[in-house]
Amino acid sequence: MFVRNRMTANPFTVTPENTVPEAVEIMRKRSVRHLPVVRDGHVVGVLSHSDIAAASPSQATSFSAGEITYLLGKLKVGKVMTRDPITISPDALLEEAATAMRDNRIEMLPVVEDGELVGVITESAILDAFIELLGFRDHGTRLTVDATDAPGVLARLAQATARHHANIQHVAVYRGSDHSTVVVGVNTTNTDALEADLAADGFAVLARLVNP
């Protein structure tokens, strides 16, 4: 799956010249935690709640509430934003975005094509895609199977499901050293005969999750 399939196109943005209170109001109204900062269509930064918090006077300051409000009202986004943010192409794989976000401990990536902002991809969007790819909410049964990590094992699993006229909708493999855990999502809630067949073929069914 590509980033363009999951990104939010035409995201809300601010410019470096916007004030911090203006940005905070956009975040509040639009229920977003991050805003790309753009100038002439090009991404020059990212503004997050943590950037704003870091720029705000400490509670231990001697400033009065009125003085703090005045100072924040004059503060520009360009002074507090994270500059030169990591970006990603809409044609990148979703797992590339997830890796970049995880490795750099960030929750949003601006999506840039031909030098211009075309969208954003967020941590929430990636989690939604993960749930969908694994078919967690789909009708049917998810069987968690212990299998030898060897050529042809997945083919044997597929043949077993075919013998019982079950359609594999999703599959995930969590590899170990010599054994792997395979999660197979099939489109039926009655898997007793299939599980018996798998056991006879040397597979161990570790768990069953039925979603009616």
Enumerate residues 6+ apart whose C-beta is below 8 A from 106. Answer: 85, 86, 100
**Predicted local distance difference test score (pLDDT) of residue 212:** 85
**Predicted local distance difference test score (pLDDT) of residue 185:** 94
**Predicted local distance difference test score (pLDDT) of residue 176:** 82
**Predicted local distance difference test score (pLDDT) of residue 79:** 92
**Predicted local distance difference test score (pLDDT) of residue 68:** 46
**Mean pLDDT in each 10-residue stretch from start to end of the chain (212 residues)?**
95 95 92 95 94 68 47 82 96 97 96 96 94 89 92 92 93 88 94 94 93 87
**Predicted local distance difference test score (pLDDT) of residue 71:** 57
C-alpha separations of 66 from 46, 63, 73, 166, 208 in Å = 28, 8, 10, 68, 60
Among candidates 210, 171, 169, 170, which has minimal Cα distance to 189? 210
**Predicted local distance difference test score (pLDDT) of residue 89:** 98
* Dist. CA 181–CA 23, nearest whole Å: 46
